[in-house]
Amino acid sequence: MHEANEQRPRWAFGLALVALLVVIAVAVLPLWADARSRSRTPEDAEVALAVAAIRGAFEDGDAVWVEPSWWVVPRHGLERMGAGTERWPFPALMVTEDADPVELHGYRRLFVLAGFQREPRPPPELAMLDLPGEVIFQGEDVAVARWDLGESPRLRTLTREWKKLEVSRRFSPGEAPTPCRLRRDKHRCGRDSWMDVALEPRVVWRRETDWLFVHPGPAGTTLDVTWKDLARTHAGQPTWLYLRVGQTLEAVRHPEGKPVLVQVLIDEREVDAVALDPHRFWMERRAIRLPAGEGDARVTIRISTEDPAWRETVLEADLLSALPASLAAWATAVIE
């Protein structure tokens, strides 16, 4: 008993020492973490050198991908240096978590500006292509690499020709379609304004887009968007229609409405159909090979629903000279 009583103060001292070390660690850890974070934050001078390296090599047909996606600091320094960087929404300056690889394939070269000691790499949507690249700037916290993407497969883009589209609505079965006339930068369908068709900025599947707004009409009606004179072949090979379509962030936040049916017709024959669920934040990517035939093809995208409440839908499409492996992998359906 006497020996046990003598050892008690030693245990008490040990416990007190451990408690003191814990208190010190709790007090010092935030300061250490802040200092560590500050040491990883790129210096303005280093960012300026990286931006200068891109500006000195940038040409029309190039694009810039910034990593991490939330790092918007370099973007202002990269504005007004060439095509795609002159005005909002700056399509050649990609500060986003998710890339549209069809957009990426629209450029000849891609610069990747990586900060916070990250290694510059192409977006994951292009990783499988094993593209040739080189580092053109290497700092302590910032690096820039450039990749050659090769010749773009994009031949035509629907939203660049949206004013030339044929747009019509059929308001009841058996009734002749009513043309939606282009007036004041919209295809006016003659009824409520939400039934007009035009380019609208919307968020679709975590992406900010400026695509064609194609809200379905009331039950029993259809909206037809027709893209004409599409070449069936290029350099002796069949061409591809690459459609992206989805419902907006506002649409999926609302419980109203029924699924939106999207049908694709080529030369008046249905080749694809998909339903967009009301509350799924999603984007369909449909790769469709154009069929052989006489003359150019005529593609119609038909939109309908049993209940249009809050079913805001937008779409984009491209005519491609070929279907790269990365785009085939990204597609939700490949139709040959």
Does 17 have pLDDT greater than 90?
Answer: no
Query: Given this model, what pLDDT does residue 5 score?
Result: 46
Query: Is it true that the peptide bond before 89 is cis, omega within 30 degrees of 0?
Result: yes
Nearest Cα to 55, choosing from 93, 75, 80, 81? 81
Query: Given this model, what pLDDT does residue 34 score?
Result: 41
Does 14 have pLDDT greater than 90?
Answer: no
Measure the CA–CA gap between 204 and 194, rounded to whole angstroms. 18
Q: Which residues pair with 307 in a beta bridge?
A: none
Over residues 192-218, the pLDDT tens digits come to: 999 999 999 999 998 889 999 999 999
Over residues 143-199, the pLDDT tens digits come to: 999 999 989 999 999 999 999 999 999 999 889 999 999 999 999 998 899 999 999
Does 39 have pLDDT greater than 50?
Answer: no
Measure the CA–CA gap between 158 and 102, rounded to whole angstroms. 13
Q: Are the beta carbons of 136 and 120 closer than 8 angstroms?
A: no
Measure the CA–CA gap between 122 and 134, rounded to whole angstroms. 11
Out of 21-35, 86-100, 113-127, 203-217, pick the least confident: 21-35
Query: Given this model, what pLDDT does residue 35 score?
Result: 44
Q: Are the beta carbons of 206 and 281 closer than 8 angstroms?
A: yes
Does 26 have pLDDT greater than 70?
Answer: no
Q: Are the beta carbons of 227 and 277 closer than 8 angstroms?
A: no
Query: Given this model, what pLDDT does residue 4 score?
Result: 43
Q: Are the beta carbons of 64 and 111 closer than 8 angstroms?
A: yes
Q: Please name the residue that has the structure tokens 């679709």.
A: 204
Measure the CA–CA gap between 143 and 71, rounded to whole angstroms. 14
